[in-house]
Structure 1
């Protein structure tokens, strides 16, 4: 486990929606947000999924915003009755939520005259004191209230919101990583890898088994904010590989990377 310093910028992600929990919709946002935050130096430390239940959202938001530098949420800010995220965020902070004139003006760029129905205007309701996060696709904004960043659940819309809000956020040192493919079962690698992790507590080491061509293998990924520490740990890993007689090659991508 990587040791955190006082200047580490941390985050949690709260995924909101019955459709995720029921399996009707496959979440595409967690991996994207995790990789994005890693690149800019924000350490994602927790992901929660909650239903469209106001009390559950309030409880989760209040717990997470006290623990982490930022809380990102996705989902539940649409036009339907079960989109209760805005009401929950307002309740968590003890403020009201009203139709925001700037949000309405932004949405008029997307909807024709007469199309801003009461249902669509629900998407212009913003908690008091929040800053808008502009949405270049459908214009219905997200918002940032203190350290909570509220975004849409639709992946493409979430992505433009994330691009828009990130310049406003504090950032730490970006995490860099190296990956090595080892043609040996994870169980064989675990003991020397555990010893290596203990010797390099400033880096994070993970092992990810795979099965290919009827053979078991393992990807080992090491991550750190400091390149010198990463290089030292990588050199030590290659020494272990040689001593144990494992066959291995550098890997370009981390397991699961697209």
Structure 2
């Protein structure tokens, strides 16, 4: 997908999935990683509705597989295991994200989560399918669980905060998006550093949200600063540098991005 052929990636994932299911079964961790990649590729290829359905099925199977595990533990461990499974169901597929995947998960161009998460994928593509309010609700629920289960600066929690801000803006609340992104940027700058890729992505999103909230001049100023930093850190032809350059040109040429 990084090469721009999302449709081709979807076909490749479908073929890989057949092999994975034959070797590891439908509920194997490696199979889940491939199913995540396929679901994301479907969305990137222009079919967000199919992506939503694929993520819904993936999440349902993930929960079923985790629930089944509670019945395979010894009685001495069953209470602790049951609590862990409930946490995993409500949170971010923690077991599947522990590194036991095949690395084939699809990538988000701007808001890539650090690990495959069916709940994140479902929320994201629900928004892309036209239900931005539903995406906001899903991400709020996911973030509430992450607040309970994960450290403040856990990469998964930070990624969810960014996605929630994005969909707040898409749902017609750019001012709320600005507030969320401002808080996130402060946390990322302190925990990750000002030059970390995720910090730079948040700066880009914040600049865009400032413009959409009625501050085009502020958007221009922030994007100008970011363009200089991205050019210095990433180089002038890096995709993220070009994205910032294009966004700045949009704000300079009119009332907002095209």
TM-score normalised by structure 2 residue count: 0.23
TM-score normalised by structure 1 residue count: 0.23
Which structure is higher in strand share? 1
Which structure is higher in helix share? 2
Point out which structure has higher relative CO (alpha carbons under 8 A, 6+ apart): 1
The structure whose Rg is larger is 1
